[in-house]
Amino acid sequence: MSFPSLTIDPFDEEFLSDPFAYHDELREAGAVVWLKKYDCYAMARFAEVQAALKDWQTYISGRGVGLADFAREEPWRPASLLLETDPPLHDRTRGLMNKVASLASLRALMPVWRTKADALVAEVILKGEIDAVEALAEAFPLRVFPELIGLREEGLEHLIPYGTTAFNGFGPRNRILEQSMADAQEAIAWVAESCKRENLKSGGWGMQVYESADRGDCSPEEAERLVRSFLTAGVDTTVNGIANLIHAFAENREEWAKLRADPSLAKRAIEESLRWGGVVQTFFRTTSRDVATDGGMIPEGSKVLLFLAAANRDPRKWEDPDRFDISRNAGGHVGFGFGIHQCLGQMVARLEAEAVLCALLAQVTEIHATGTPQRRLNNTLYALAELPVSLTPAG
Ligand code: OVP
């Protein structure tokens, strides 16, 4: 074994509670490292992570983007037709989903989302001290996303627990995964039902996937599985993205003052929060061939853990990387991935964040922490359980 071998467990509770404390060690150890505990390789530097994401022929997704190798073990649910596939299948499904999740259909919604965010912030601000996770980060996506997809109203409380379990499912079968699986049985059944055509409202993105199937772009069975991707990837991610954004400003109050002085920085601030926050910490790939690297050869069929969040704070790429600085151009971060699998819903995520941020800007002069934020440990997401803040009303 020619690669530096580390005993570090990136899925244990200590690591997941404060992953950034360990990323330096991973990046400094080498461009490619060996993780003894899981018999897998890992990359944590920006250049290597980005290059691996770009080289989809070598670092494939079809054997799963979690620790489990689908060539050796059955996935816990039928594989995603987007996330866990390679071309040519991936390009067909991605192509039809790109048309459904178009920027054009989102543009029309933006004023509606802005009004809803304004109303939510107006409600919340009256309460004084709040838990920003529940009151804003969970509440806002749940007010807009189900409607975007065209979900039935009954059972929406299952969306977050389902996402939580799916993201835990990319890690090892540790206690975190076992517990969330045990808790999510009802949510799993609800999501499966919700993906069926008869349970989707006309006009929503869910039904539009079936209409794409009607035109021959995919089979009805594939449509059902593709709708599942919206439900899996679209909620716990944006919830934590918004929580992270508020957390960033609560911890860096001078940045809030800076944004208030110049609201045209809002888009930059969101991008910077995506770089800094590390909501999606990691994804795996599997090597399709022996790969020669400077440090040695990675054999075919190896799992490689890519640390997106560590790449986004790599000092080789970013100046003062741990600093949340809304003046910085964070463009090019890999928080949404890179290459052919780059986040399909990234514009949904950005527009949700923008709606909430603009509502806060209009109505709140100060955001400050009133207690210690509590983490919710997840094998993939850097998630917040609780974020006590007080919002000072404007005027
Ligand atoms: C971050 C993602 C995450 C989880 C599930 C899926 C996609 C899916 O396609 O099911 S992207």
Cα 350 from Cα 274, distance rounded (Å): 9
Is any ligand 1 atom within 6 A of the Cβ of residue 229?
yes
pLDDT for 128 equals 87
17 contacts 377 by C-beta, under 8 angstroms: yes
pLDDT for 2 equals 87
Is any ligand 1 atom within 6 A of the Cβ of residue 82?
yes
Q: Does domain 5-393 have CATH number 3.40.50.720?
A: no
265 contacts 259 by C-beta, under 8 angstroms: yes
Tens of pLDDT, residue by residue over 76-129, are 999 999 999 999 999 999 999 999 999 998 999 999 999 999 999 999 999 989
3-state DSSP call for residue 22? helix
360 contacts 266 by C-beta, under 8 angstroms: no
Tokens of 133: 């996770």
Each domain of the chain, given as residue ranges in start order, spans 5-393
Indicate whether this model's pTM tops 0.95.
yes
Is any ligand 1 atom within 6 A of the Cβ of residue 166?
yes
Cα 392 from Cα 367, distance rounded (Å): 7
39 contacts 261 by C-beta, under 8 angstroms: no
**Whose alpha carbon is nearest atom 11 of ligand 1?**
233
Query: How does DSSP classify residue 138?
Result: I
Cα 57 from Cα 394, distance rounded (Å): 53
Tens of pLDDT, residue by residue over 199-255, are 999 999 999 999 999 999 999 999 999 999 999 999 999 999 999 999 999 999 999
Mutate to test the pocket of ligand 1, among 82, 165, 281, 282 (most ligand atoms within 8 A of CB): 82
DSSP string, 152-202: -STTGGGHHHHHHHHHHTTS-S-HHHHHHHHHTHHHHHHHHHHTSGGGS-T
Cα 351 from Cα 107, distance rounded (Å): 9
Is any ligand 1 atom within 6 A of the Cβ of residue 308?
no
Kindly give the distance from the C-alpha atom of residue 161 to the centroid of ligand 1, in angstroms, as a whole number.
14
Cα 298 from Cα 1, distance rounded (Å): 10
Cα 137 from Cα 389, distance rounded (Å): 12
